[in-house]
Structure 1
């Protein structure tokens, strides 16, 4: 079944202008028709009545006149009115309208005068056709003007809406740059102001994130050195793991800050895909690597290994074993056998730009690992997609370009 028809603001404006034009044209046409009709009838009645008076004088003076005495075709309403002592004018309708004027000149003698009303009827018909033609032309012209106005308004509103969508998708440089002083211009100016404020706030947030991570590097490095001086033991191992996790967190935050500021650089070289995969998962346990087809690509191997290590670590942390890494030419797939991605995460994972710590459902978020993977893939002009495998589990697919982007 098809959904309900949705009209754009341009179509609504054009339709409203067309309806208003039709209404105004119809009202004016009907009004002019009735006024003209009443004026014609009043004029014709007055002239015929005056002629009847003149004929009555001629009849009294025994002079010839076009008036008739007691005509056989005298309409019954006229005869009744005259018998009551009223001088009357009467329009007899039909295909051939006739205008009558009659008066009583003596006992039971009716002097009547008639003439065809067809000329007035034809004149009124011509007027109606003229009004219809003029009204139609005016309606078409006004409707076209309304359509042009509506299309212009619709395009301006569409530009503002698309710009707002681009800003929501991470393009903080998008601007409407409105012109004019109407409501749509005010809306467009508000969108630009919102983008400026959002960009300034995000920039301040990036700077704070980078400054905090940079300031933490020195004390964390000192902690790493101090751990090396502790005597071996379970407590030392626990502190050492915590310090290493803290070091990795600080480096991840710095990497996100560099990706946010677009200050990261790419150093490309030719590497075999399977070799990069094995290097990426060397320090991880429970990873099965399967090479279906291998190839050599020109890319930044450090960043590719970082992406694959983050994907594999995320699969081990949030999925269930076994975690499989398949190399299929320039494409690498990382799959676990856990519950899969939450539906609310797909919109976050496929948005433009790193979204650190972003969460869409309670207790579930992308964290820094996937954030860095998404940012690094875009930096390498690679395609990173996420989906739930038909047989169960979450699957991430990294497609590397076989040639470096310019």
Structure 2
């Protein structure tokens, strides 16, 4: 299972926290090494001065804390002093550390001073604790600042993404409030500009569609009148059928235009779902009504019947019999036994909804039936779901609101 992706805010906060820890660690290591070197140099210089004073006391016959040829003198120091130089040496015995200062004296003897290096080690350990506490505090503070900055950036980016998703879902009035002059503000301005351009283009398309449909109503009505006076025959039947289809297409286009502009009103009545289903398929042959459970809902019966009629007609046109309309309370399912929805069309139905003038079927058609059904369902507050049944065939489910 793939782990969830980190958002921008979390990534920024983590990056700032990691950078703060790395910088604090590097500074701590550098200060530790410089301080340790300075401490060792100062300790060697101090013990060397004490050795010089002890050598003077030894030459004058006075007592001093220095020792002559101590048995625990480290080997490297003995070899170096035999060359005639004064030596300071830090010995690590594994349990403790000892600082030596040794100088040659008369008779190939060696005068040595030694002391524990524990005070410097304690001082360095205290410095390390202070550096660790300071680094941790600074790291936490910088991480909090990074977290606040990351959360702010993440919220702005998330707001822009959600607004873009709302625009993609059809809410062309959604806008992002840009803040500042950074890249996210530019992204917000670009999303708003995209929404404005998309809204203007869709409005122009809707206007053109509605104008064309209105202009076609008059000549189509004239054609219908002219067909009615033609002499009976095969030719007149073909012309009448074509005119009837053209008239239905014009009415569908006008209905889509009204749904796009939402210039329609609802006429709410209390009706049984089964009764609306029967009225919807009254003029369609080959649709079987099955009532599993009935329900009474407050809705616009004309719109519900239009939805169910379009779904049933779509199943008859693009599916295969038998076509069954099942009423299960406020849910109505329309099933057929055809090849089902094509995969590419089903993907579009699940994301952006039906696209006008696209059916996904080789039999042709205008593709406005599902568009009108979806628009009517949206106005009613109903939910329309499209799927393919495991046993074969397409299934469309209309779930009416019961509140």
Which secondary structure does the structure 1 equivalent of 2:368 belong to? helix
Equivalent residue for 2:52? 53
What does 1:78-93 correspond to in 2, within 5 Å? 78-93=77-92
Equivalent residue for 1:21? 20
Equivalent residue for 1:256? 256
Q: CA deviation at 1:52?
A: 2.0
Q: 1:272 to 1:3 in 2, by over 3 A?
A: closer
Structure 2 distance, partners of 1:55, 1:152, is 69
What does 1:254-333 correspond to in 2, within 5 Å? 254-294=254-294, 296-333=296-333
> CA deviation digits over 1:85-142, x for unaligned, max 9?
1111111223332222122222312222223322112111111121122222222222
In 2, are the aligned partners of 1:345 and 1:366 still within 8 Å (CA)?
no
Structure 2 distance, partners of 1:219, 1:235, is 20
Which secondary structure does the structure 2 equivalent of 1:36 belong to? helix
What does 1:26-105 correspond to in 2, within 5 Å? 26-94=25-93, 95-105=95-105
Equivalent residue for 1:144? 144
Number of equivalences: 402
Q: CA deviation at 1:371?
A: 0.7
| 1:239 matches 2:239 | yes
> CA deviation digits over 1:51-109, x for unaligned, max 9?
22223233223233222222232222212111101111111223332222122222312
Q: For structure 1, which segment, 44-53 or 5-14, has the greater mean C-alpha deviation from structure 2 after superposition?
A: 5-14
Which secondary structure does the structure 2 equivalent of 1:332 belong to? strand
In 2, are the aligned partners of 1:274 and 1:294 still within 8 Å (CA)?
yes
Equivalent residue for 1:171? 171
Q: For structure 1, which segment, 156-165 or 387-396, has the greater mean C-alpha deviation from structure 2 after superposition?
A: 387-396
CA RMSD of aligned residues (A): 2.5
List runs of 5+ in structure 1 lacking aligned partners.
none
Q: CA deviation at 1:358?
A: 4.4
Q: CA deviation at 1:396?
A: 2.3
List runs of 5+ in structure 2 lacking aligned partners.
none
Structure 1 distance, partners of 2:148, 2:362, is 48
Which secondary structure does the structure 2 equivalent of 1:22 belong to? helix
Q: 1:366 to 1:66 in 2, by over 3 A?
A: farther
- Output the TM-score relative to the length of structure 1: 0.90
Structure 1 distance, partners of 2:344, 2:353, is 17
| 1:228 matches 2:228 | yes
In 1, are the aligned partners of 2:249 and 2:366 still within 8 Å (CA)?
no
Q: For structure 1, which segment, 366-375 or 141-150, has the greater mean C-alpha deviation from structure 2 after superposition?
A: 141-150
Equivalent residue for 1:378? 378
> CA deviation digits over 1:171-203, x for unaligned, max 9?
212222121222222222222221121111111
Q: CA deviation at 1:359?
A: 6.2
Q: CA deviation at 1:214?
A: 1.0
Q: CA deviation at 1:146?
A: 1.9
Q: CA deviation at 1:328?
A: 4.2
Equivalent residue for 1:369? 369
Structure 1 distance, partners of 2:242, 2:146, is 69
